[in-house]
Structure 1
Amino acid sequence: MGTLEEERMRGRLLALVALLGLLVGVTPATAQAPTGDIVGRVADASGAVLPGVVVTVSGGALIQPLTATTGETGTYQFPGLQPGNTYVVKFELTGFRTVIVERVAVGVGSNTTTNATLEVSALQETVTVSSEAPIVDTRKTGTKSNYTQEQLQNVPSARDPWVMLERTPGIAMDRANVGGSQSGQQSGYISRGATTTNNKWLLDGVDITDQAATGASAVYYDFDMLQEMQISTGGNDVTQQTGGVGINLVTKSGSDTIRGSGRYYWTDESLGSVNLTEELRAQGARSGAPIQNIKDYGIEGGGPIWKGRAWFWGSYSKNDIKVGVVNFYQKRPGCPVNASDPLAQSLPVDAINECLNTDLTVLDNYNIKGSALLFSGNTFTWHSNFADKIRNARDASDTRPFETTYIQEGPVWTHKASDRHVFNDRWIAEAAYAYVGGGFGLLFQDPANRDIQPLNDLGTGRWERSFNQSEFDRPATSVNLTTTYFKPATLGGDHAFKIGYNFRDTPASSTTVYGGDVYAQTRNGVPERAQFWRSAATEYAMTTHSVFAQDTYTRNKLTLTAGIRWDRQDDSALASTVEANRLIPQWLPGIAFQGADSGVVFSNWSPRLGVGYDVFGTGRTVARSSFSVYYGQIAPGSLSGTLNPVSAASISFPWNDANGDRFVQINEVNLQRSAVITFSGNYNPDNPGFLGTTNTVDSGLKNDRTVEWTATVDHQLTNRMAVSLSYIYRSYSDFRFDQRVGIDASNWSPVTYQPTCAAAAPSCPQLTYFQPNISIPGTQRLVNRGGYTRDFNGIEATFTKRMADRWMLDMNYAYNDAVDNFDSIQGYSATFDPTNLQIFNGHQYAVEAGGSGIDNVFVNAKHMFKIAGVYTAPWDINLGATYQIRDGYLFPQRILSPNRTGAAGAVNLVLEPFGESRYDKFQMMDARVAKRFSFGRRSVEGSLDIFNVFNVNTVLTRNLNQAAATANNVTGIVAPRVLRLGVRVVF
């Protein structure tokens, strides 16, 4: 395998060759997207159903028209239609007028009901009407949000899929993305008390979820490659394995007409404002977080290779993002070293912002897509995507100066081939193969940093000098087989069957090395301990097999969906070798690991049930409910990782820094066994020379489980307006962790502690922590966390007005209450340590964001309100706006305890029950104005977007340690107001 740069160059060349191949007549084809259905009922003028009507659907993304014949109930169904397109549906029956319905829109995951009434006629007459599909989907069971081109392009946004998640009811994000300032990194998000590991990403039907960074996307996207998006937050049918958020991305495709678009968007600090006040500067935010410059440009287009037989589509885009980060300074004369430097307070805002380093991200994206009709009823498809990312300073923050950040590199190819065959008007089948290459690196800023010891202050959280480096390889290969069959007039109603099999092979390997093999750690500047590391080199194999079956039964006003899904997940640790720590090889020797298998395989059956009732038979008011059981998706190593001794291992000893140079020398470290402060879980300090592991996995281990019940009422106010009200209940259980063997609750004793707090601390109470009266054992066992459950209760209300009469509006409110419950100490702590138990038991669940460049954010908002709308003013001027307001996230102030006996280390003592202390409420408004000039089918649009209209400067993060010199110092604020200029050409 070549270097990352060689892979990047090879990817660009392959993309160019593939595109040229398409243009000269090669026929790779479009991958099948997540699709929608057209369904309906045909009757005569008296209302009696008409069997035998020939129904034809054409246009849209169909190379070849499809036909169906109504059954005894007068019903028909066209499944698997590409969304984001409008179709024409024709109804024909001898002795009746032909009816043609135009502009039938299909949305991803939706059922577009298109009914027809045929009148008797002796002549061959045709009636043509324009469709306006019902805004309430009578067959819908889950809670889903669809985003069309109108919402993607005309509503102001940072132009990435994660900002669409931000608009979705009930989803809370871990960051504020002002004008694309955060688009260089994936945003984290939480919905309905779930863990992020159960989120799912699909690109044109391909599962591209990163199985190792479980729940994340494997790639970044060209926003203009998207035709439509659907985001599912609950009531997932059998096609989705988990109960997490499901994101379906539908890309554009070719047609019999040449079409395309190009754009250029420009944002610059000269178009921005300043939201940094002297009050914030006095609280530690010496600088702001300005957008320095963002460029977003690209082109996409497609058309016929052979009209009526083969199409192509392709795109290219680049995002060049340069932003400043609070207190992330350049190391040059006239600039402060850090936020504590007096210069940081004395310099004016403009000067201090000039001192900020540039956090740079460059995203390149290529797409090649095509489709070919091989023979009647059979379409072959192909889609290739090449996504590359370079970031110069990942994890940049006030506590991670430039030399401690990562250089991130990693090109990723995604390929999919599929074949779809229409056997008849009721039976469709598809076979698909996909490959996603998921390699990237988080590299030292300088290779020499491999031999430089990082310096870390436990009080302030600040790092200096160096950090670590990791490289990952995460390819994914999948095979999907699906079939649908429509069976009308059976058991008093119609049946739509769906059956499928999925296979996914997701191996993962990674290596990690640590600067200098040791971290020099101080506490508020005082030398405290040396944390020694052994490098990691892990390789895992993992496979997932899934089978599902579902029947959607409709009879008069009733729709019943029943399904079952089976998933089998298995992993193993493969052989690998790591070298000894270079400073203390007697404590951290080299290991040649032979591999291991836990013997545990997760085999889970997941029932799904949904029922909908058209209350008045008009399709305007639908009451529906769903019941689902979901099981988690696991990462490679989730089962066998406990048995793997070549994952990262560490041990900490007291360090006195006798010569005052802030570097660890061995003669400054107490290396006695009795002096061990703490050690990692895959290592036993009582037998450090042992080259295997004494860890085990419980043979009865269960997969994490989610039980969900929803109840919803949808009501159509007018043909273009609807409201919806939902109640959601979820129960989470069977979590797992590595529990220490040989210790229990009886081995812990309370210690009263009076800390010394900083002047900025609002209070400094006497605290209690627990420490063991024996040494923490080294042996672990992977078990379920008995007695630990989580309950969620939520309410969601939505109002939808689709685009008509010159305006559209989406508005939603969500109430969320996610509570952690610990019925026993066994499920709370892997070592049975009761410290903080009462702080968390019975209180809010809030996962701490810890990846993608954001940390110290505890995502939990009980109340969220969001609104987005568009108005088309005279002279083809589009006005758009979004607004959101939510509770501030948790602000869990804490104090780091002293090092405890028995190698228990220090522990953060949280001062208040989780959820009682929060940051100020967060609110944000964006606005947009655009003028379009049309020339037939072509148009040119100029636009101006205003982000953070009111220039809010809400504090997002602070230093939580109340005993630190920097206690409560502001470490993150919202980026200031900024304008974006854009031009878009459509042809």
Structure 2
Amino acid sequence: MRGKLLALMAMLGLVFGSASAMAQAPTGDIVGRVVDASGAVLPGVVVTVSGGALIQPQSAVTGNTGTYLFSGLQPGDTYTVKFELTGFRTMVVERVAVSVGGNTTTNATLEVSALQETVTVSSEAPLVDTRKTGTKTNFTQEQLQNVPSARDPWVMLERTPGIAMDRANVGGSQSGQQSGYISRGAAGANNKWMLDGVDISDTVATGSTAVYYDFDMLQEMQISTGGNDVTQQTGGVGINLVTKSGSDTIRGSGRYYWTDESLGSTNITEDLRAQGARSGAPIQNIKDYGIEGGGPIWKGRAWFWGSYAKNDINVGVVNFYKKEAGCPVNAADPLAQSLSIEEINNCLNTDQTLLDTYNIKGSALLFSGNTFTWHSNYNKKGRNARDASDTRPFETTYIQSGPVWTHKASDRHVINDRWVAEAAYAHVAGGFDLLFQDPSYRAVQPLYDIATTRWERSYDESVFERPATSVALNTNYFRPATLGGDHSFKIGYTFRNTPTTSTTVYGGDVTAQTRNSAAERARFWRSSALDYALSTHSVFAQDTYTRNKWTLTAGLRWDRQDDSAHGSSVESNPLIPQWLPGIDFQGADAGVTFSNWSPRLGVAYDLFGDSRTVVRSSFSVYYGQIGPGNLSGTLNPVTAASITFPWNDSNGDRFVQLNEVTLTRAAVIAFDGNYNPDNPGFLGTTNTVDPDLKNEKTVEYTGTIDHQLSSKMAVSLSYIYRQYSDFRFSQRVGIAASDWAPVTYQPTCAAGVPSCPQLTYFQPNISIPGTQRLVNRGGYARDFNGIEAVFTKRMSDRWMLDTNYAYNSAVDNFDSVQGYSTSFDPTNLGIYNGQQYAVEAGGSGIDNVFVNGKHLFKVAGVYTAPWDINIGGTYNFRTGYLFPQRILSPNRTGAAGTVNLILEPFGESRYDSFQMVDARVAKRFNFGRRSVEGSLDFFNVGNVNTVLTRNLNQAASTANQVTGIVAPRVLRLGVRVLF
């Protein structure tokens, strides 16, 4: 009976669901059917594709259904497709464009002719892809270069339907750091970054990219947000970047863009200054320049391409001041209010990022049908004050450095006109350093106020090594006229090895903690020294079956992920070695390996048979990608560990002395890491991993209707449902929900706060146990419902337009406290249960941002005015993100520490809606094959000053003070030379 039920469910999934035909390869397909004047199919037609990124032409012969397929074609220059059959006129279709992950349908109707005649036509690819079943957005050169943008991949994500960003990037003000983003209720850990088919996702900060980019190295970008086919492991956003390549003609470009504070405005008002934003966040100076070009090494046999770029970004940060006479120390300094806006902006310190990027790429035809490609990318990032913010003054920020090399070698072989195979090897030498501003800060105790979240004096230092080596084998096979239709098979295997090491040390080995400037706690640290291994094996197979109006896609993917912890050592905390002793760890394995089968099913129906209206749907199951140590890390005792005790600062110097600290087990306020204060001398761990642990799972259903209004315009409407489950965390062993008792608390709030209610929190009747177990979060799931509407007008009649709207609702559901809290603490459970999910952004000065945009509306367009003046513009609107006002509890008994008490159901209060307009004017002057373009880009045209973040703690002296606003209007000057 169960087998019949599973079979029925599979059949229903096949009928009502699907997976996308888009691939994570940096290529697309040309596909079509050849008929005669009566509409009868023509087998035996010789179809030849040439140009584009092909060093030599490829040919295929149509089968009994009159169909053909060229797979694995790179975007860039357009292709030419020629159709030849004895007794018929030869037909040549020019300007056939290929997009990443797309299927360019190029049909032909051949007429009978006794003469050898040739008919040449210009291609106009249909706007509706009848073979597609997922949701994706492609950005071509026209959209990358002619629409105003901050010129990094993250601003293209900002223009993608349904994606909400964690920051507002005005003219490059935020391009010194990766932006965070949310799509369809998913956390970012399952996002995937691909560069020319190489997985360059960070191996530890999973979901982010290991490198930064020269914007002009990109030929095209594809961003997929759902219906991912079997080539992508996860259900996260897939970012597929394709670099430029050489050709038989020498071509290239150079550019210089300049932005300066003298070209900007001021958007800070006295009202905002009174609310805590004493300064604005202006661009001080940005220079973006570089050159790229390529051509033949041996015409018709070998090409090269290379590039160099530098991005020098200098920005001011709200209330991030220089340590100079006449400048305020922080926002509370009376000088910060009394100085004029111009004077206060002159006191802003500089947050500088330097990005250097090199590329070299070569392709060669080794023998007939065989092409070898090599690509090396070098990216070096330097930043003088990472994490700069109003709560992280200069001495607490990081110096960031770290070059990353990426190498890829691939060999593509056309076995015959239906079968293509490729083998690839890649290595990403990922890693970076986050260093103290001065080596002497290693001995300095940081000072941290737990109410205002402000740091002083020092911080910590880390060094990361994150290499990744991968091997991929892929093949595509086209089988026409089989079982009543055409089959396009895709089969592949990938191996990825991602070891990682890291060390972290803490300033002074202890953090002095105050609450609204009153001494309260001393948090002692033990450094960490981590060494993990992770290997991933993946196999996938997929068949895209086309018959008449139907396209059916069925795929299956298998992923095996296995990590382990290698041995490493840490020294004791020199202040309290009896509590935090040194450890020599021998290594451990979690005993759990994730082995997951992921079905991807799909169907698309060409409603009227004219390729203008297509109804499609998808059903997909995805499993999460893990990082090194995500499983075995629970068993590792040399992770960072801390223990917090009461501190009285009896001498008033704001530094911790041991005679000011109550060092007893009963006095422990909190502890962290794989550490047990009940047995601090134990040089191992009693932690365990549930042998039945499951990988995080996402189930997705989508339904879409695409309609081509005309040859230039199309609309699309999609509904998306997702459920996320089988999350995991390390849960305390030996405590239950019944061990927690409610405590009524009347806080003392800051003057002027709108609400200061009596609150209830919970504290344990026993001490929090030190032993943990890695388990699934039983009873916790997240449901997402969304709608996306898209309108596209391709460039014609002098204008183009892309418009999209998205409605998003992601809701957290907890059946019990077991899946809510690592220690079964029910505090705030009712606040979060059944409410909107919003992940808190963190890092690079971005905090207190809870990304959840229920309504997103985006517009991007270009108009070519008389005298060939290009006018571009964007409009971006989203509902305000969550503003969860809260109060920090007192220290709780049982080493439970403090907890933030949310004042109202999560998501009930939001910041004001955000909207911004950018504009661009450009004029190109042509000199034969060469041209020069001058441009003016206007960012934040309306000079909006929307508040993005405030201090959330209503009991802090800085309650509700503004900590982040949109950067002001600024003008960018640019010149590009094309040759």
TM-score bracket for the superposition, by shorter chain length: over 0.9
Which residue of the other structure, out of 283, 297, 300, is the alignment partner of 1:305?
297
| 1:141-152 alignment runs, 5 A limit | 141-152=133-144
Q: Which residue of 2 aligns with 1:527?
A: 519
- Quote the residue 2:657 is aligned against: 665
- Residue 638 of structure 1 corresponds to which residue in structure 2? 630
1:575 pairs with one of 556, 567, 571:
567
Work out whether 1:107 is the aligned partner of 2:112.
no
The letter for the 2-side match of 1:318 is: K
Aligned length: 956
What percent of counterpart residues are identical? 84
Corresponding residue number in structure 1 for 2:257:
265
* Counterpart-to-counterpart distance in 1, 2:265 and 2:154: 25
Whether 1:393 aligns to 2:385 is yes
Code of the aligned partner of 1:494: D
Deviation digits for residues 696-750 of structure 1, max 9, x if unmatched? 0000000000000000000000001000000000000000000000000000000
Q: Work out whether 1:55 is the aligned partner of 2:47.
A: yes
Matched letter for residue 140 of structure 1: K
Asked if residue 898 in structure 1 is aligned to residue 890 in structure 2, the reply is: yes
Structure 2 CA distance for aligned equivalents of residues 948 and 486 of structure 1: 49
Q: Which amino acid aligns with 2:864?
A: T
In structure 1, distance between residues paired with 2:77 and 2:949: 43
Task: State the distance in 2 between where 1:437 and 1:973 align.
Answer: 36
Task: Please point out which of 946, 961, 964 is paired with 1:954.
Answer: 946
Q: Is the 8 A contact 1:203 1:251 kept in 2?
A: yes
Structure 2: which amino acid aligns with 1:981?
A: L
Give the alignment partner of residue 702 of structure 1, picking from 671, 676, 694. 694
- 1:42 counterpart (34, 42, 47): 34
> Partner residue of 1:65?
57
Q: Are 2:323 and 1:323 equivalent residues in the alignment?
A: no
User: Is the 2:25–2:101 contact (alpha carbons within 8 Å) kept by the matching residues of 1?
Assistant: no
SS at match of 2:587: coil
CA-to-aligned-CA distance 1:21-41 (integer Å, 9 cap, x gap): xxxxxxxxxxx9610000000
The CA deviation at 1:854 is 1.4
Q: Where does residue 705 of structure 2 map in the other structure?
A: 713
Among 901, 908, 912, the residue aligned to 1:920: 912
Whichever residue aligns with residue 533 of structure 1, its letter is W
Matched residue type, 1:186: Q
2:767 to 747, 771, 775: 775
Shift of 1:581: 0.2
| Distance (Å, rounded) in 1 between the aligned partners of 2:423 and 2:147 | 37
Whether the 8 Å contact between 1:33 and 1:203 is mirrored in structure 2 is no
Establish whether residue 405 from structure 1 lines up as the match of residue 397 from structure 2: yes
Please list the CA deviations of residues 664-717 of structure 1 after superposition, one character each: whole Å capped at 9, or x if unmatched. 000000001000000013100000000000000000000000000000000000
- The structural deviation recorded for 1:610 is 1.1
Name the counterpart of 1:12. Answer: none
Once the two structures are superposed, residues 455-497 of structure 1 have per-residue CA deviations (whole angstroms, 9 ceiling, x without a partner) of 0001111000000000000000000000000000000000000
Determine the C-alpha separation between the residues in 2 that align with 1:68 and 1:915. Answer: 57
Pick from 594, 603, 606 the counterpart of residue 598 of structure 2: 606
* Structure 1 position 176 matched with structure 2 position 165: no
- Give 1:480's aligned residue: 472
After TM superposition, list the pairs within 5 Å mapping 1:419-568 onto structure 2. 419-568=411-560
SS for the counterpart of 1:448 is helix
Once the two structures are TM-superposed, the CA of residue 523 in structure 1 deviates from its matched residue by 0.2
Q: Structure 2 CA distance, aligned partners of 1:307 and 1:853? A: 50
Q: 1:596 aligns with which of 588, 593, 617?
A: 588
2-side partners of 1:447 and 1:379: how far apart? 50
Equivalent residues of 2:385, 2:399 under 8 A apart: yes
Deviation of the 1:761 alpha carbon: 1.3
**8 Å CA contact retained: 1:473, 1:510:** yes
Answer yes or no: is the 8 Å Cα contact 1:185–1:852 preserved in 2: yes
Paired position in structure 2 for 1:161: 153
Q: 2:468·2:496 contact (CA, 8 Å) conserved in 1?
A: yes
For residues 824 and 431 of structure 1, the distance between their equivalents in structure 2, rounded to whole angstroms, comes to 49
Pairing 1:253–2:248 present:
no
Unaligned runs of 5+ in 1: 1-31
Query: Residue in 1 aligned with 2:335?
Result: 343
Residue 959 of structure 2 corresponds to 967
TM-score by length of 2: 0.97
Q: Offset of 1:84 from its aligned partner?
A: 2.5
CA contact (8 A) 1:104 1:131 kept: yes
Q: Within 1, Cα distance between the matches of 2:324 and 2:39? A: 81
| Partner secondary structure for residue 949 of structure 2 | strand
Task: Please give the alpha-carbon distance, in whole angstroms, between the structure 2 residues aligned to 1:243 and 1:567.
Answer: 13
One-letter amino acid of the structure 2 residue matched with residue 651 of structure 1:
I
Query: How far 1:566 sits from its partner (Å)?
Result: 0.1
Match of residue 681, structure 2, among 689, 699, 707: 689
Matched, 1:754 2:746: yes
Is it true that 1:937 corresponds to 2:929 in the alignment?
yes
Pair 1:888 & 2:876 matched = no
Residue 7 of structure 1 is matched in structure 2 by: none
Q: Could you give the per-residue CA deviations for residues 814-869 of structure 1, whole angstroms, max 9, x where no partner exists?
A: 00000000001100001000000000000000000013441110000100100000
2:755 to 763, 769, 794: 763
Give distance in 1, aligned partners of 2:501 and 2:169.
32
Report deviation, 1:83.
Answer: 1.1
Give 1:380's aligned residue.
372
Matches within 5 A, 1:270-285: 270-285=262-277
Q: What SS is found at the alignment partner of 1:746?
A: helix
**Counterpart pick for 1:622 among 610, 614, 617:** 614
- Whether the 8 Å CA contact 1:33–1:251 is kept in 2: the answer is no
Contact 1:185-1:853 at 8 Å conserved across structures = no
- Alpha-carbon deviations, 1:506-532, whole Å to 9, x = none? 001100000000000000011000000
**Shift of the alpha carbon at 1:537?**
0.2
- Cα shift at 1:439: 1.4
In the aligned structure 2, how far is the partner of 1:520 from the partner of 1:653? 10
Q: Distance in 2 between matches of 1:384 and 1:786?
A: 45
| Residue number in structure 2 paired with 1:10 | none
Q: Is the 8 A contact 1:772 1:902 kept in 2?
A: yes
1:652 aligns with 2:636: no
Maintained 8 Å contact 1:33/1:250: no
State the match for 1:28 in structure 2. none
Q: Distance in 2 between matches of 1:434 and 1:681?
A: 35
Secondary structure of the corresponding residue to residue 715 of structure 1: strand
Instruction: State how far apart, in whole Å, the 2-side matches of 1:493 and 1:294 are.
Output: 56
The whole-number CA distance in structure 2 between the counterparts of 1:141 and 1:851 is 36
Change (3 A) 1:852 1:139: farther
Q: Following the alignment from structure 1 to structure 2, what is the Cα–Cα distance between the partners of residues 932 and 483?
A: 43
Task: State the alpha-carbon separation in 2 of the partners of residues 697 and 759 from structure 1.
Answer: 48
Which SS does the other structure have where 1:345 is aligned? helix
Give the partner amino acid of 2:451.
Answer: G
Report if the CA contact (8 A) 1:681-1:778 is conserved: no
- TM-superposed CA distance for 1:211, in Å, is 1.4
The correspondence for 2:849, drawn from 857, 863, 867, is 857
- Please name the residue that 2:19 is paired with: none
Shift of 1:875: 0.9
Task: Kindly provide the CA deviation profile for residues 869-904 of structure 1, in whole angstroms up to 9, marking residues without a partner as x.
Answer: 001111110000000111000000000000000000
CA distance in 2 between counterparts of 1:301 and 1:184 reads 25
Is residue 876–residue 932 contact of structure 1 (8 Å, CA) maintained in 2?
yes
Question: Which runs of 4 or more aligned residues in structure 1 lie more than 3 Å from their structure 2 counterparts after TM superposition?
Answer: none
Are the counterparts in 2 of residues 681 and 780 from structure 1 also a CA contact under 8 Å?
no
- Residue pair 1:655, 1:668 contacting (<8 A) in 2 also: yes
| DSSP-derived class of the 2:155 partner | helix
